[in-house]
Amino acid sequence: MLDFIDPRIVAAVQILTALGIVLFWTQWFRTEHNEPWLPTGYVLHERCFVYPDSVLAALLVASGILLILGKPLGERLTLVCGGMMLFLVVIDTAYFLQNGMFAREKGGAENLRLSLLLSLVSLLMILRFVG
């Protein structure tokens, strides 16, 4: 569908996204998360995402490298990553909505930017190689 986008650009986006995931969790674990407006169980909820995000980051790098090398498996693995990322974004977005975390006083701008950016990246990965 988005055949005009060079697979190497998608690969670069994937590898940068993987790096962003690693940086996010590095920063997240260095933060106390003691804001009074955080929902009960916030830390336990978020901590569960370390595992799927780590798998996603590894797959993003692997598929990105395969795309750069021109291997067909890179395209298929990119579709897996796109679906996985979209699923994780939907969960995060639902959590943010249910807990009022898009409100300005609750880091809403950052949460919205993160949700939108990851939604766009996942759609890029899916729409570039679907069909």
Q: 41 in helix, strand or coil?
A: coil
- Helices (H) and strands (E) counted in the chain, each on its own, are 5, 0
Count of Cβ atoms closer than 10 Å to residue 101 Cβ: 20
Structure tokens at 51: 């595992």
pLDDT tens-digit readout, 1-24: 899 999 999 999 999 999 999 999
Q: What are phi and psi of 2, to 5 degrees?
A: -110, 50
Sequence spans of domains, the chain? 7-129
**Which structure tokens are listed for 29?**
């674990």
pLDDT tens digits along 27-51: 999 999 999 999 999 999 999 999 9
Give pLDDT, residue 107.
Answer: 87
Q: Would you say residue 70 has pLDDT above 80?
A: yes
Q: Identify the pLDDT of residue 131.
A: 75
Q: Is a pLDDT exceeding 90 seen at residue 63? A: yes
If you average pLDDT over residues 92-104, what whole number do you get? 95
Kindly tell me the burial class for residue 32, based on how many C-beta atoms sit within 10 Å of its own C-beta (0-12, 13-18, 19 or more): exposed
pLDDT value of residue 1: 82
Mean residue pLDDT of the chain comes to 96
What does the chain come to in residues? Answer: 131
From residue 39, alpha-carbon distances to 4, 25, 49, 69, 112 in Å are 43, 19, 16, 45, 17
**Predicted TM-score (pTM) above 0.85:** yes
